[in-house]
Amino acid sequence: DAGVIQSPRHEVTEMGQEVTLRCKPISGHDYLFWYRQTMMRGLELLIYFNNNVPIDDSGMPEDRFSAKMPNASFSTLKIQPSEPRDSAVYFCASTYTGGPGNTIYFGEGSWLTVV
């Protein structure tokens, strides 16, 4: 299996621009998570989906952030407009919850820099 695939791997954008991060979970997985990693705050869960339905978006920092999962094999995290404080690594992860001990697999991350 190819694992969780994220794109782009690196993005540099100007403040105010729209940023779209993409994720393809592992085939057959029914949970998808978006995490953000920063030096100051560590790894934060932003939102997660179960069977393409958003379950908990309490970690989304503000209305500038939105996430969608139109089908089982694709999700996006959008920031509009972007701000320098959004600079971080954004990880997508997925798992199959046939059992609670199932491993959550992470993608390689999208390194976002907003200047």
Binding site for another protein (CB under 8 A): 31, 33, 42-43, 45, 48, 55-56, 91, 93, 95, 97, 99-101, 103-109, 111
At position 104, the amino acid (one-letter code) is I
CB of 106 to another protein, least distance (A): 4
The answer to whether the beta carbons of residues 3 and 104 sit under 8 Å apart is no
CB of 74 to another protein, least distance (A): 19
CB of 51 to another protein, least distance (A): 12
For Cα atoms 100, 101, 103, give the angle at the middle one, nearest 5 degrees.
110
Q: Which is nearer to another protein, 56 or 83 (CB)?
A: 56
Q: Which is nearer to another protein, 17 or 51 (CB)?
A: 51
Q: Which is nearer to another protein, 71 or 103 (CB)?
A: 103
Q: Which is nearer to another protein, 74 or 108 (CB)?
A: 108
CB of 105 to another protein, least distance (A): 8
Residues 37 and 110: their CA atoms lie apart, in Å, by: 10
Beta bridge partners of 29: none
Longest Cα–Cα distance of the chain, Å, equals 43
The answer to whether the beta carbons of residues 92 and 33 sit under 8 Å apart is yes
